[in-house]
Amino acid sequence: MVDAPSADRSAAVIGSGFGGLGAAIRLQSAGIQTVLYEARDLPGGRAYVYHDDGFTFDAGPTVITAPHTLTDLFELTDRRLEDYIRLIEVTPMYRLIWSDGDRFDYVRDEATMVEQIRARSPRDAEGYQRFFQYAKKVFDKGYTGLADRPFLRFSDMLAVSPSLMRLRADRSVYNTVAKYVKDDHLRQALSFHSLLVGGNPFQTSSIYTLIHFLEREWGVYFPEGGTHALVRTLVQLYEELGGELRLSTPVKGIDLITEGGRTRHRVSDGKGGQDTFDMVVSNADVHHTYSKLYASSPVAQRRTRKLEKSDWSMSLFVLYFGTDIAYDDVAHHTILFGPRYKGLLDDIFKGNDLPDDFSLYLHVPTVTDKSLAPEGCSAAYVLAPVPHLGRADVDWDAIAEAYGDRIIEALEVEMPDLSKHIVTRRHITPKTFESELAAFKGSAFSVAPKLTQSAYFRPSNKDSGIPGLYLVGAGTHPGAGLPGVLNSAKATVDLILSNGR
Ligand SMILES: Cc1cc2nc3c(=O)[nH]c(=O)nc-3n(C[C@H](O)[C@H](O)[C@H](O)COP(=O)(O)OP(=O)(O)OC[C@H]3O[C@@H](n4cnc5c(N)ncnc54)[C@H](O)[C@@H]3O)c2cc1C
């Protein structure tokens, strides 16, 4: 089917993650009447929020980068993001701490970066500058014009392959970094970024070194009021544009029907409601979309089988906690590397058990925004990457509390006497990703971002076999992370507006 070019088409967007919100805003801005279905009681998907005992805990994304992916959504209708919410620049972008006490403040300013590197490893200062130039080249080829453009045909892939191969996209992030710098900790400092989008630095294509350039180029931000305040702002924009959000309304199934010679999508929700749309943009987990929402379609069954053979990215254990004292000397974002780097990553991405050790990401937003905790207190979360449920059969209900206790103990190097000051805490595990977000294998970042699962090889922004079905979010091109899913919204909606090319 060729979608009708009229402006009166209707769309259902399934899921209000950042990708779904971005798509819904773009569709509504283009005059396509949109209903946004969300299974949970709040919008945001992985960017959910918990309010416990006066503390506000953003559940997921906290490192906001590539702000143009957000400002663009407002500019579509001549609005300005800064009239709705303030993005506060965070510095250092990350504080990195190793188990031997070594520290490194990862900042945007080039001179400060180079000076810190020279002080620890003089021979790496020049190597770092060459690495930065390499990351810029990758960014110019791999982000600009490609991140927000769909790869529908193999020829789309062939067109960009020569330049990506010249940049050795077949090498891993870590091996690329290792060519430029020799210091072991620096190699970790410059390669951990692919973990932010669910990729093992030892397996993920060097294309992902572009994250380093992207953060240095545009900075790292935190929305005033927290990430969920940003979610609410996007919902506000969507509703101002006339869009309809249906919370606590899980979609149970979608039937393809023919009306007036055209395929339409009959969406059945968990409340007994049924509505028919010209198209569906699914922001739900891609395996859930094909295996559950379109269960009766033979095309979907084929896609499901392929997805079950794909590599899925790791999961996370996340512990949210509030303290009765203010920890103001910590950085907003801290990475605490454990004693093992490659060995630990091998265990998480290739092993079959939960490793005993961990590396942690600590988020203390009250360093930037005191409104997220009662006066004189701190709100924080700490996360550990862990194997997904398809890999390690861990009884999370049984071990989560004790696992959290061990993590709290490890945090005491940075937050003295932490265990005595925690007044509220909660956690999520791979099981939560599976039950609350319908995430296949409880993966936190969907299909792993390997070269063989990227661009044309990733589930497509437009399904070629189910007319009117589009995907948006972490499971489609370009992939996970806020810049990724917001770019996927642009790629997908541009396709819809150009009638699918
Ligand atoms: C703990 C954590 C920290 C992270 N930190 C960062 C960070 O700092 N920076 C960054 O850029 N990225 C970060 N990420 C990654 C980023 O959050 C995700 O890649 C991104 O938010 C995923 O967005 P999405 O559009 O794919 O949708 P999701 O957030 O996955 O949302 C999908 C939505 O679909 C809904 N849904 C599913 N099935 C149905 C159904 N049948 N009916 C109706 N609704 C349905 C779900 O309820 C959910 O709301 C982090 C992720 C996690 C988990």
pLDDT on residue 1:
34
The distance between the two most distant Cα atoms of the chain, rounded to a whole number of Å, is 71
- 21 closest CA partner among 434, 496, 482: 482
Q: Is 70 exceeded by the pLDDT of residue 403?
A: yes
Helix, strand, coil % (nearest 5) of the chain? 40, 20, 40
pLDDT on residue 493:
97
Q: What is the pLDDT of residues 133-188, one digit of tens each?
A: 999 999 988 888 788 888 887 777 777 778 778 888 889 999 999 999 999 999 99
318 CB under 6 A from ligand 1?
Answer: yes
* Count of CB atoms situated within 10 Å of the CB of 359: 24
3-state secondary structure of 74: helix
Q: Is 90 exceeded by the pLDDT of residue 281?
A: yes
Q: Is 80 exceeded by the pLDDT of residue 374?
A: yes
Task: Specify the range with the lowest mean pLDDT, choosing from 49-58, 191-200, 362-371, 377-386.
Answer: 191-200
Phi-psi region of 350 (alpha: psi -120 to 50; beta: other; left: phi over 0): alpha
Q: How far is the CA of 157 from the centre of ligand 1 (A)?
A: 27
pLDDT on residue 8:
67
45 CB under 6 A from ligand 1?
Answer: yes
Q: How far is the CA of 36 from the centre of ligand 1 (A)?
A: 15
- Token duo for residue 357: 């050790």
Which residues pair with residue 276 across a beta bridge? 266
Q: Is 60 exceeded by the pLDDT of residue 6?
A: no
Q: What is the pLDDT of residues 418-442, one digit of tens each?
A: 999 999 999 999 999 999 999 999 9
pLDDT on residue 302:
97
481 CB under 6 A from ligand 1?
Answer: yes
CB proximity list for 480: less than 8 A, separation 6 or greater: 197, 198, 313, 445, 446, 449, 474
Domains contained in the chain, CATH given:
10-49+57-84+223-311+448-497 (3.50.50.60), 109-218 (no CATH), 312-437 (3.30.519)
Q: What is the pLDDT of residues 66-104, one digit of tens each?
A: 999 999 999 999 999 999 999 999 999 999 999 999 999
pLDDT on residue 141:
85
Question: What's the average model confidence in pLDDT over 189-195?
Answer: 95
CB proximity list for 13: less than 8 A, separation 6 or greater: 20, 23, 24, 27, 34, 35, 36, 37, 280, 281, 282, 283, 472
Q: How far is the CA of 78 from the centre of ligand 1 (A)?
A: 27
pLDDT on residue 450:
87
3-state secondary structure of 188: helix
CB-based burial of residue 305 (10 Å sphere; 0-12 exposed, 13-18 middle, 19+ buried)?
Answer: exposed
Cα within 13 Å of Cα(292), Cβ side: 16
pTM of the model: 0.96
439 CB under 6 A from ligand 1?
Answer: no
Mutate to test the pocket of ligand 1, among 222, 283, 293, 364 (most ligand atoms within 8 A of CB): 283
381 CB under 6 A from ligand 1?
Answer: no
* Count of CB atoms situated within 10 Å of the CB of 219: 17
Question: What DSSP line would sit under 306-346, residue for residue?
Answer: HHHHS-B--EEEEEEEEESS---SS-SEEEE--S-SHHHHH
Cis omega (within 30 of 0) for bond into 478: yes
Q: Is 60 exceeded by the pLDDT of residue 2?
A: no
- Token duo for residue 472: 């948006």
19 CB under 6 A from ligand 1?
Answer: yes
Question: What's the average model confidence in pLDDT over 12-31?
Answer: 98
pLDDT on residue 146:
80
Q: Is 80 exceeded by the pLDDT of residue 3?
A: no
pLDDT on residue 147:
83
497: confidence class by pLDDT, cuts 50, 70, 90: very high
Residue that is written with structure tokens 């769309």 in the block:
11
Which residues pair with residue 269 across a beta bridge? 251
Q: Regarding predicted confidence, which is higher, 275 or 158?
A: 275
Which residues pair with residue 104 across a beta bridge? 96
Q: Is 90 exceeded by the pLDDT of residue 12?
A: yes
Q: How far is the CA of 127 from the centre of ligand 1 (A)?
A: 36
Outline where 170-246 has alpha helix (H). Answer: 173-180, 184-189, 210-218, 227-240
Q: Is 50 exceeded by the pLDDT of residue 501?
A: no
